[in-house]
Amino acid sequence: MNACPTKKPFTELDLSAEFEDLTGLVQADLKAVVVMLTERARERLLLTRRESQLLQKSLWNGLTAAVNQAMEPLSAERR
């Protein structure tokens, strides 16, 4: 088995119903940011494929978590 128990899955973007129509757009923008930063880091820092993948996952999870956290109090149920 190649499954590593320490691997964390990618965090999902979880916008409330008031913003769910923006989910695709926000995901596309986040993906673009993650790809650009990862490519630049790979080129300039000569990252290995594994390092690039870890950076990409870390960036994605951090950015989606930040958006989820910032938007969570803005749902109608929380107001």
Query: What residue spans define the domains of the chain?
Result: 21-73
3-class state of residue 75 by DSSP: coil
DSSP H helical ranges for 6-73: 23-45, 49-71
Per-residue model confidence as pLDDT tens digits over 12-56: 999 999 999 999 999 999 999 999 999 999 999 999 999 999 999
In terms of Cα–Cα distance, which of 23, 8, 13 is closest to 64?
13
- Confidence band, pLDDT 50/70/90 cuts, at residue 76: confident
Measure the CA–CA gap between 56 and 24, rounded to whole angstroms.
19
Question: In Å, how far from its chain's centre is CA 63?
Answer: 5
**pTM tops 0.85:** no
pLDDT given at position 22:
96
Using CB atoms within 10 A of its CB, is residue 34 exposed (0-12), middle (13-18) or buried (19+)? buried
